[in-house]
Amino acid sequence: MAFDWNDYARLAEELRTRKDEASLRTAISRFYYSVYHQARDYLLDKGVPLSTTDSSHKIVWKEYQRMGGSCRAVGINGDRRHKNRRVAGLREEHNGH
């Protein structure tokens, strides 16, 4: 059975109602992965040659940018969210967490 990535988005919505930092960080992460995997699956369904084993975020977002039109905005925003998620993770590591 295929995983429904919308379940991550629903979980993120539940977690964001909590006010503790762990829930909020997890909500951001789960929502990002929901969007990323849905975007990746869409490309695969359209026959775009992507690895089915690698989860290269940059490749997915660059492919959307290359497609142009409204897809370009999806790629730009996805790449920006990916960078922000990584920066937040680095801050967490530097803060001793």
Residues 28 and 19: their CA atoms lie apart, in Å, by: 13
Residues 42 and 72: their CA atoms lie apart, in Å, by: 15
Question: What average pLDDT does the chain have?
Answer: 86
How confident is residue 87, by pLDDT bands cut at 50, 70 and 90?
Answer: confident
With a CB cutoff of 8 Å and minimum separation 6, the contacts of 86 are none
How far out from the chain centre does Cα 4 lie? Answer: 14
* Cβ 34 vs Cβ 9: under 8 Å: yes
Question: What does DSSP assign to residue 1?
Answer: -
Higher pLDDT, 54 or 86: 86
pTM here is: 0.80
pLDDT (0 to 100) of residue 93:
55
pLDDT (0 to 100) of residue 83:
85
Model confidence pLDDT, tens digit, residues 4-45: 999 999 999 999 999 898 898 888 889 999 999 999 999 999
pLDDT (0 to 100) of residue 62:
93
